Structure 1
Amino acid sequence: MEQNFSLNSLRKMCSEGDHRDASLSAGQRVRALAKMAASVDVDQDVEPRCYFRAGLEMERLADGYLRQGGLENAFVLYTKFITLFVEKLPAHKDYQHCRVPEKHVIMKKLQEVAFCRKDELQKRLEYKYGKEHAHFLQVQEASAGRRGPLDEERRGPLEAERERVAAMHRSQLATEQFAYFEEQLTCQEAAKRRGEVAGHQPIGDGVGLVGAVPNRTTRPPVSHSAATLHAAYGVGAEHLRRTLLPRTLTSRFLLLADRNSARGIETCGVLCGRLQRDALAVTHVVVPKQSAGPDFCAMEDVEELFGFQDKHQLLTLGWIHTHPTQTVFLSSVDLHTHAAYQLMLAEAIAIVCAPKHNRVGVFRLTCVGMSEVSACRLQGFHPHSGETPLFSACAHVHMTDADVTMLDLR
């Protein structure tokens, strides 16, 4: 999907202040955070309801960060929440005609929660950053006071060297950040030029390569197709938060799916959970009403699923489904399905269970995969590029001994 920014704007963004730099004033650091939070775009091809649904979980995640003391992440999310629903989404061509329950809830959250919490967080961050900046200045003054006469003679060259090293560090950081964004744009342009290309990609099962993608079509349980959802939902973190997965989850899900698996029919479920410090913990698996066959599984009555999530304040952390007759991989339609989850939450995972082969894979899309799949408008089974892997085994998932709640709504 084409992005609404240029390389020049990326260079400018990378050269701006870092909110983690205590040498900056409190105001400069808060402004740096606010600029990060303002990067929200709306795609006219994505239904407003998708944004409203993502917004509910965005606010839920922001509330979790606030409760756990993650002031920066909470401030960014609440600011993005306000920017999205006050400034950007009302300009969507279908906004006025959108009549969904989530819209009313979002408007209430704006009035009663988002604005006041953003202001509160800004004050708390200004106080925190002010203390850190004052401490930084005290350390600088103390260091200057300890210098003797000889030190004073060397102060000029030493200060110049410190400034040179600091400038090199800032330049390196900006270069790395810019390289990352430039890679995203390059991937997207390459995917756009390739168009429809025949071929398949190698795949991994969490341990090693297991072969080429067979001809298989899986209907996605949900359908959102916009990279802008990720920009709206993400907190701008530079690394993936750990995702905690109970060890018994897959075996218990396979028990629920056993009857379908015996008949060669797929079963799918949604992974739900909560923020625990700076990790995302899967606590529930919800198996909604669904229609399925040997090579597809489609959710039905998603309102029941949404109602359960809202009642228990649960985040959507990914999905799980079976391949009763084949091994573990993500088909072309599975790629599109998971892109929807990963666009909303970078850490979202796709678990694939192959009971016939006793294999389980935990996957996410690569940078190239996200770019190519987001730009693809084909439906059903179709080939994607085979030049670079579009998905890989997850490195941010950690197994735990925590319990998991299984809810079968079928």
Structure 2
Amino acid sequence: MTHIKSKDTILDTLEPQVRLKQLIDYSNQVEADPRVPPIRLIYLYRYYRSGQEMIRMANVYYKEGSLENAYVLYLKFMTLFLEKIRKHPQFSSVAVNVKAKNQATLREILPRAEKIKQQLLEQYTSDIQQYLAEKKKLENELKRTEEQNKLFDQRTSKSTASGLSGTISIVKVPENLDNIAYPESISHIPPVPPPSTVAVHKGFEVPKIDRTKKPSNIFRYDTNILRPVIVPVQVMTLFQAIAQSNTFKNIETCGVLCGKLEKNELIITHMILPKQKGTSDSCCTTNEEEIFEYQDVHNLITIGWIHTHPTQTAFLSSVDLHTHCPYQLLMPEAIAIVCSPKYNETGIFILTPDYGLKFIANCNQDGFHPHPTDPPLFTEADHVRIENNASVEVLDLRKK
């Protein structure tokens, strides 16, 4: 994400048109890599497939009223399929029905994106008006308080010059002390300090402007701030049980983790085991269209994947890193779960966003090959929350 450099004048960065331009600039940061076929990405991903998942997430954001996030995803979709994908050297090979479906989606979201744009401009205009009104009010209070304190200082100075240290008040003491009504909270009254330590209290506190309440001049859709991913504990237990026969044969098993976006949380609700071919250290999926068809019917978003290491510990191998890369390029929160039955380990990993993701995306080597380990290319996913009582639906396409 590109942050706009802050300026001395707050107004320059709070202007509604400036804030809107930040969204548009950020949304334009999407490319159609000419090295990657437009219909098939490594292990399950296709540009057109990714586009449909963008729209699913955008629709959820739109329904929940998260207009900035919805607008960014709609713009990314439009940028990719109205401009970038057409320059891909293999664009002409895309099937007519796939292009037609994409065009229908574009026709649907274009007016919606324009409507959101107007709503955001109204929201940003309201934000700046409210902030400036509050700022002016606090500045007036500050000016008034400073004038009161200045007047107090002048009066105190005159009193000191005449030999008085403060205002003298005469208090009449009741004749019958037994009739005094003491407050119940008398024990909480602080002790009176000795006269030599008594400080003059002006009584006029200078108001403070809360800078955190001003509208943000930086777009909040930051890929370094990951949305929580909710993982039912059943995902791991059921998957290892299903994979047990392969594990005994020293064969890896893999599955795709899908779910929904709800209140800015990604919730895994389905685990799909596609048709696949496994070895002792790898697993390749086949008949990927079956996965996509099921996701379309059930309106599911791909959130990550899961696989076993029958004889090794839980970590991401060089092949695993390349398998996971397209998942995380599409969705920064995407996770890779590795189950190691032999060592009774389970790891939930992501590529390090500040280094590993870019490094693997630019690595052109295939198969098992060495990678540098410092700085680390992957790390444990700390944005994951394991839910003991949540359920998961399992679809085993290997049996069909």
TM range (shorter): 0.7 to 0.9
Q: Does 1:384 align with 2:379?
A: no
Q: Does 1:372 align with 2:368?
A: no
Secondary structure of the structure 2 residue equivalent to 1:357:
coil
Q: Does 1:257 align with 2:243?
A: yes
Q: How does 1:11-410 map to 2 (within 5 A)?
A: 14-15=4-5, 24-49=14-39, 50-99=46-95, 101-112=97-108, 114-146=109-141, 147-148=143-144, 150-151=146-147, 236-366=222-352, 367-400=354-387, 401-410=389-398
CA distance in 2: counterparts of 1:310 and 1:278, whole angstroms: 21
Which residue type is aligned with residue 75 of structure 2?
A: T
Q: Which has the higher contact order (CA 8 A, sep 6+)?
A: 1
Provide, for residues 19-58 of structure 1, a one-character-per-residue CA deviation record: whole Å limited to 9, x for no partner.
Answer: x999723222222222221222221111112211111111
**Which stretch of structure 1 is more off in the superposition, 95-104 or 311-320?**
95-104
Bigger-Rg structure (1/2): 2
Secondary structure of the structure 1 residue equivalent to 2:316:
coil
Provide, for residues 332-370 of structure 1, a one-character-per-residue CA deviation record: whole Å limited to 9, x for no partner.
Answer: 101100112111111111001111221111111113222
Provide, for residues 37-84 of structure 1, a one-character-per-residue CA deviation record: whole Å limited to 9, x for no partner.
Answer: 122222111111221111111111111111111110001110111111
Tell me: CA distance 1:22–1:137, structure 2 relative to 1, closer, same or farther (3 Å): farther
Tell me: CA distance 1:354–1:100, structure 2 relative to 1, closer, same or farther (3 Å): farther
Aligned to 1:199: none
Tell me: CA distance 1:93–1:329, structure 2 relative to 1, closer, same or farther (3 Å): same
Tell me: CA distance 1:30–1:153, structure 2 relative to 1, closer, same or farther (3 Å): farther
Which residue type is aligned with residue 95 of structure 1?
A: F
Is the CA contact (8 Å cut-off) linking 1:53 and 1:102 kept in structure 2?
Answer: no
Is the CA contact (8 Å cut-off) linking 2:223 and 2:332 kept in structure 1?
Answer: no
Secondary structure of the structure 2 residue equivalent to 1:320:
strand
CA-atom RMSD, angstroms?
3.0
Secondary structure of the structure 2 residue equivalent to 1:285:
strand
CA distance in 2: counterparts of 1:92 and 1:246, whole angstroms: 39
Tell me: CA distance 1:407–1:21, structure 2 relative to 1, closer, same or farther (3 Å): farther
Percentage identity across aligned positions?
39
State the 4+ residue runs in structure 1 displaced beyond 6 angstroms.
20-23
Displacement of 1:101 in angstroms is 4.7
Is the CA contact (8 Å cut-off) linking 1:290 and 1:297 kept in structure 2?
Answer: yes
Is the CA contact (8 Å cut-off) linking 1:22 and 1:129 kept in structure 2?
Answer: no
> TM-score, with normalisation over the residues of structure 1?
0.73
Which residue type is aligned with residue 35 of structure 2?
A: D
Secondary structure of the structure 2 residue equivalent to 1:103:
helix
CA distance in 2: counterparts of 1:21 and 1:251, whole angstroms: 55
CA distance in 2: counterparts of 1:149 and 1:239, whole angstroms: 41
Is the CA contact (8 Å cut-off) linking 2:226 and 2:332 kept in structure 1?
Answer: yes
Aligned length: 327
| Long gaps (5+) in structure 2 | 40-45, 151-207
Which residue type is aligned with residue 143 of structure 1?
A: L
Tell me: CA distance 1:152–1:66, structure 2 relative to 1, closer, same or farther (3 Å): farther
Provide, for residues 368-398 of structure 1, a one-character-per-residue CA deviation record: whole Å limited to 9, x for no partner.
Answer: 2222211211111111113322111111101
Is the CA contact (8 Å cut-off) linking 2:13 and 2:19 kept in structure 1?
Answer: no
> TM-score, with normalisation over the residues of structure 2?
0.75
